[in-house]
């Protein structure tokens, strides 16, 4: 069975191979779009190595210093990734401007087209594996990696189209302009990854209050709930709330069973969730849910 760590290792090898192929042909041809894609693959390699470290660290169990586990390491790594991606995008914009001003012609465009075709094939395999693991783990790291490789597929297709046009029209000015566009998209992607990382560090709610509330109120013994609080840490959701019973005189044994039933139902919907329920015999606070 594929694990997240195994897929990240495969992605690292793929990124290393892509970087070598693209950089070699980028230097030979003088194409900024291929060099831009090569730099992106180098970033992929660095990011995949960081991701492997983060996944190992995030799997460590909770301890005295980290009572809620080590899942936040994923957010820290995601922020580091956004800096790498954004920084490389800025450098590529500068290089593209220099290339545009110099207007140097390209060589070996045919070899570049073949190289980018190979890159699409390798990237497609990596995306397939990442999607398979993401369905199971829902990790921010895997999602960030997946989004980045999906972007690579689009840029690689764009590079092939650009090289074909240049090959037939000699419009060399297209090369730095397309490379600059790729760089801008890299910066945009960095912003998206950074936002997800910040949301995790700031304990932003899951945004699933309605779904959770529906599960709670579906139990026939539950009257209402309040103080619903949620956040994400790594691939684990933390959910806590106060639950009020219809029967204020419910026995401890019955209340315990209801608690287990509701907790089990929530965990069926939110895998690996940590659920904490405070049992209230009466409504001691106005309910926070809105329907």
Taken in order of first residue, the domains within the chain and their CATH numbers are 4-201 (1.20.1510.10), 209-280 (3.30.70.1350)
What is the mean pLDDT of each successive set of 10 residues along the chain, which is 291 residues long?
Answer: 76 86 80 78 80 76 77 81 82 78 68 83 88 75 76 79 81 79 82 83 85 94 92 85 90 92 93 88 58 37
pLDDT at 31: 76
User: What six digits make up the tokens of 41?
Assistant: 């693959």
pLDDT score at 103: 67
pTM for the whole thing?
0.64
Whether the CB-CB separation of 137 and 58 falls below 8 Å is answered with: no
Long-range Cβ contacts of 200-207 (<8 Å, 24+ apart) = 200/72, 200/74, 200/75, 200/78, 200/140, 200/232, 200/233, 201/72, 201/75, 201/76, 201/79, 203/231, 204/231, 204/232, 205/229, 205/230, 205/231, 206/230, 206/231, 206/232, 206/237, 206/239, 206/270
In whole angstroms, what is the distance from residue 239 CA to residue 273 CA? 7
Give the chain's count of helices (H) and strands (E): 8, 3
Q: Which of 161, 155, 153, 158 is nearest to 120 (CA)?
A: 153
Q: How is the beta sheet containing 236-245 ordered, strand by strand? A: 222-233, 236-245, 274-280
pLDDT of the residue at 2: 67
- What is the chain's length? 291
Continuous segment of H or E residues that includes residue 97: helix 73-102
Q: What is the pLDDT of residue 291?
A: 37
Question: What is the model's pLDDT at position 1?
Answer: 63
Task: State how far the alpha carbon of 109 is from the alpha carbons of 144, 162, 176, 222, in Å.
Answer: 31, 10, 14, 68
**Residue matched to tokens 């693209």:** 22
């Amino acid at each position: 069975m594929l694990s997240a760590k195994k897929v990240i290792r495969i992605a690292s090898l793929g990124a290393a191979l892509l970087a070598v192929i693209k950089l070699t042909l980028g230097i030979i041809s003088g194409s900024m779009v291929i060099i831009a894609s090569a730099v992106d693959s180098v970033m992929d390699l660095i990011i995949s190595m960081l991701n492997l470290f983060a996944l190992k660290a995030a799997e460590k169990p909770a301890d005295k210093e980290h009572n809620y586990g080590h899942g936040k390491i994923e957010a820290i790594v995601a922020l580091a990734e956004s800096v790498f991606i954004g920084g490389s995008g800025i450098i590529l914009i500068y290089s593209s401007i220099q290339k545009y001003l110099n207007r140097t012609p390209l060589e070996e465009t045919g070899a570049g087209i073949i190289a980018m075709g190979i890159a699409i094939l390798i990237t497609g395999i990596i995306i397939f594996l990442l999607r398979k693991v993401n369905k199971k783990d829902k990790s921010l790291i895997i999602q960030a990696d997946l989004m980045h490789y999906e972007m690579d597929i689009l840029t690689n297709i764009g590079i092939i189209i650009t090289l074909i046009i240049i090959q037939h029209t000699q419009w060399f000015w297209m090369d730095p302009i397309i490379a600059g566009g790729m760089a801008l998209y890299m910066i945009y992607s960095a912003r998206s990854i950074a936002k997800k990382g910040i949301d995790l560090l700031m304990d932003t709610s899951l945004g699933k209050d309605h779904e959770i509330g529906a599960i709670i109120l579906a139990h026939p013994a539950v009257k209402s709930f309040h103080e619903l609080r949620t956040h994400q840490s790594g691939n684990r959701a933390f959910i806590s709330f106060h639950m009020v019973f219809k029967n204020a005189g419910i026995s401890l044994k019955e209340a315990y069973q209801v608690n287990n039933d509701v907790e089990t139902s929530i965990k069926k919907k939110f895998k690996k969730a940590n659920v904490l329920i405070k049992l209230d015999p009466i409504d001691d606070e106005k309910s926070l849910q809105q329907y």
